[in-house]
Amino acid sequence: MAKVESKEKGIPPKAISETEKPKKSQKKTTDSEKPFLKTISGIGPTTRQRLEEAGYGSKESIALATKAQLTEISGIAEKTAALLIREARARFDLGLKKGSEYEASAKTRVKLTTGSQAFDSLLGGGFETGSITELAGENGCGKTQIAHQLAINCVKFLDQDVVWIDTEGTFRFNRIVQIAEAAGMDPDTVLSRITVGRAYNSEHQMALTEEALTMVPNVGLIIVDSLMAHFRSEFAGRGTLAERQQLIGKHLSFISKQAEILNCVGIVTNQVSAKPDAMFFGDPNKPVGGNVVGHTVTSRLMIRKGKAIKRTATLTKSPELPDGKIEFAITGEGVQDYSK
């Protein structure tokens, strides 16, 4: 378990291991309040523990799992897995719906502001809850800065907690303090609501993500910064590409499902590589990770560095917004509108 240590003075952000578990209520629990697995007859304590340890403790996680996942991870019989999934889906209302019913779920989606009006308008109001948005761009373009700003905005405007999976060691206590103060927030309050998992390899990254998203209550924002760094360095040879892509697909689809279930904003940052065939036209860079990443993220933003504080954001994929490009700024106080 990675424990977050901050060299700077002050209160360190919470490490995942210190995350409070949801408080047990004092009153007698009725069947609908009991943990899902306890309400299914035929699931003994050993099976329950195995499922919980594998991240399948709630009806939400089981409802979106496949039989193969449940049997493979927890070693339970296929018949039991099928029964669990059927029950969880029934109770979680994952059956067929009329188009008109989608309006209700669309209304529960919330937009998380970026801090720049131009940036927000590109995104139809801000980063949407319920799905993953990818921030891609060259080193130093500002992906991690945007993530810091969103963490503060999540606490300020959604009054919800943040899960931050840090794969490159670039989460900065000092930046949270500076940007929080500029936003009129108490930095200690903000820091106490960010749970940071420092991931040292891809396996660790996946495990921390699953642990945080199943343990931390009231998540409004999950950040994986960066998605591909470990996968790229660990799976270097061509022969390992298929395995790598399979793992990334699993990692991303877990985050995507959780973002939908928890109705939280999902952000993954991504590196880019040079497109050999685009020397003269368009953006010479493309996000790494291939089709698996390109298809699994719901929205894709390309960030580019301009002179000094100037940045551009280009929306290149969205299920409901037109592509577009805007200018914004990254300053000591965080993400802002750019004025010439």
Ligand X SMILES: Nc1ncnc2c1ncn2[C@@H]1O[C@H](COP(=O)(O)OP(=O)(O)O)[C@@H](O)[C@H]1O
**Position 331 contacts ligand X (CB under 6 A):** yes
In the complex, which residue's CB is closest to Mg ion? 144
What mask of x and - would describe binding to ligand X in positions 88 to 127, judged by CB under 6 A?
A: ----------------------------------------
Closest contact distance (angstroms) between CB of 303 and ligand X is: 7
Closest contact distance (angstroms) between CB of 22 and ligand X is: 33
Instruction: Please tell me whether the peptide bond between 226 and the residue prior to it is cis, using omega within 30 degrees of 0.
Output: yes
**Position 330 contacts ligand X (CB under 6 A):** yes
Instruction: List all residues 6 or more positions away from 84 whose beta carbon is below 8 Å from its beta carbon.
Output: 40, 43, 62, 70, 76
**Position 312 contacts ligand X (CB under 6 A):** no
Asked if 155 contacts 193 with a C-beta cutoff of 8 angstroms, the reply is: yes
Site for Mg ion in 128-167 (CB under 5 A): 143-144
How many other C-beta atoms are found inside a 10 Å radius of the C-beta of residue 156? 17
The CA–CA distances, whole Å, from 247 to 72, 80, 134, 205, 231 equal 15, 26, 17, 11, 9
Name which position in 51, 63, 123, 141 contacts ligand X (CB under 6 A): 141
SS3 content of the chain, % helix, strand, coil (to 5): 40, 20, 40
Q: In this complex, which beta carbon is closest to ligand X, that of residue 52 or of residue 333?
A: 333
Site for Mg ion in 167-196 (CB under 5 A): 170
**Position 169 contacts ligand X (CB under 6 A):** no
**Position 143 contacts ligand X (CB under 6 A):** yes
Q: Which does 282 bind (CB under 5 to 8 A by kind): Mg ion, ligand X, none?
A: none
Backbone angles phi, psi at 221, to 5 degrees: -150, 130
Helix axes of 78-91 and 67-74: crossing angle, nearest 10 degrees: 120
- Chain centre to alpha carbon of residue 34: 27
Closest contact distance (angstroms) between CB of 153 and ligand X is: 16
Q: In this complex, which beta carbon is closest to ligand X, that of residue 123 or of residue 330?
A: 330
Closest contact distance (angstroms) between CB of 107 and Mg ion is: 34
Closest contact distance (angstroms) between CB of 176 and Mg ion is: 15
Name which position in 31, 41, 332, 340 contacts ligand X (CB under 6 A): 332
**Position 252 contacts ligand X (CB under 6 A):** no
The DSSP 8-state label assigned to residue 158 in this structure reads I
**Position 6 contacts Mg ion (CB under 5 A):** no
Helix axes of 67-74 and 45-53: crossing angle, nearest 10 degrees: 110
How many other C-beta atoms are found inside a 10 Å radius of the C-beta of residue 290? 14
Name which position in 144, 202, 296, 336 contacts ligand X (CB under 6 A): 144
Instruction: List all residues 6 or more positions away from 111 whose beta carbon is below 8 Å from its beta carbon.
Output: 120, 123, 124, 125, 126, 127, 128, 129
Q: Which stretch binds ligand X (CB under 6 A): 106-114, 115-123, 156-164, 326-334?
A: 326-334
* Nearest in space to 163 (alpha carbons), one of 135, 189, 195, 199: 195
The CA–CA distances, whole Å, from 61 to 28, 69, 89, 237 equal 25, 11, 10, 34
**Position 139 contacts ligand X (CB under 6 A):** yes
Count residues near ligand X (CB under 6 A). 12
**Which residues contact Mg ion (rule: CB under 5 A)?**
143-144, 170
**Which residues contact ligand X (rule: CB under 6 A)?**
137, 139-145, 170, 330-332
